Amino acid sequence: MVGPGTVAVALLPALLLALLGPWSGRGGAAAPTAPNDTLEAELERRWESLVARSLARLPVAAQPKEAAVQSGAGDYLLGIKRLRRLYCNVGIGFHLQVLPDGRIGGVHADTGDSLLELSPVERGVVSIFGVASRFFVAMSSKGKLYGSPFFTKECKFKEILLPNNYNAYESHTYPGMFIALSKNGRTKKGNRVSPTMKVTHFLPRL
């Protein structure tokens, strides 16, 4: 006897064709683009795809709890993604930037490499993604900042609102280590600074 589960599996291809049929044009033409398919939406889709591939590389035990229980990265990435520049008011003033070769540094002017996407990955914890370079900001166990092509545990930063309305970004994996820029725009080791120091204060702005 054929069970209901077998029938459901057999009907699945037909159901998919019925759902996708209205979107397919004659001769296999591409589906129409939605009117609100903006650049930001495209960046979000690419970011989610990149993180999904990164999560797939991790063993289940190492994945965030949300990612392990959900069927895909979409549910894990729910939240407000912000396009911002992180400004540190030291020296002449610098924006955190992620260069195409993965190096992290500071730049005075607004550049494409300083445009970042801040995305929540846990409550109070964000990832920082270079929109142009497509590298995540990451911090090693020695407090060194670097660009990672994949989302890893070293790409998580606790976002802390300071009394002066600036933010500090503390490594979630290595507590007590903070993102910091020197007065010359170079990165400082996260284990040699503290949130009381101006070099760790960043103002998110457009």
Mean per-residue pLDDT, 46-75 = 47
pLDDT on residue 206:
86
Query: How far is 17 from 24, CA to CA, in rounded Å?
Result: 10
Q: CA 183, 187, 190 angle in degrees (round to 5)? A: 115
Query: How far is 44 from 77, CA to CA, in rounded Å?
Result: 10
Token readout for 192 is 């040699």
Report percent pLDDT > 90 for the chain: 60
pLDDT band of 68, cuts 50, 70, 90: very low
Determine the 3-state secondary structure of 45 from DSSP. helix
Mean per-residue pLDDT, 184-202 = 97
Query: How far is 192 from 188, CA to CA, in rounded Å?
Result: 7
Domains of the chain and any CATH numbers? 80-205 (2.80.10.50)
pLDDT on residue 181:
98
Amino acid at 13: P
pLDDT on residue 77:
47
- The verdict on pTM exceeding 0.85 is no
**37 or 145, greater pLDDT:** 145
Tens of pLDDT, residues 45-56: 665 666 556 555
Nearest to 182 by CA among 86, 93, 98: 93
Mean per-residue pLDDT, 67-84 = 55
β-pairing, 157-161 vs 167-171, is antiparallel
Tens of pLDDT, residues 173-190: 999 999 999 999 999 999
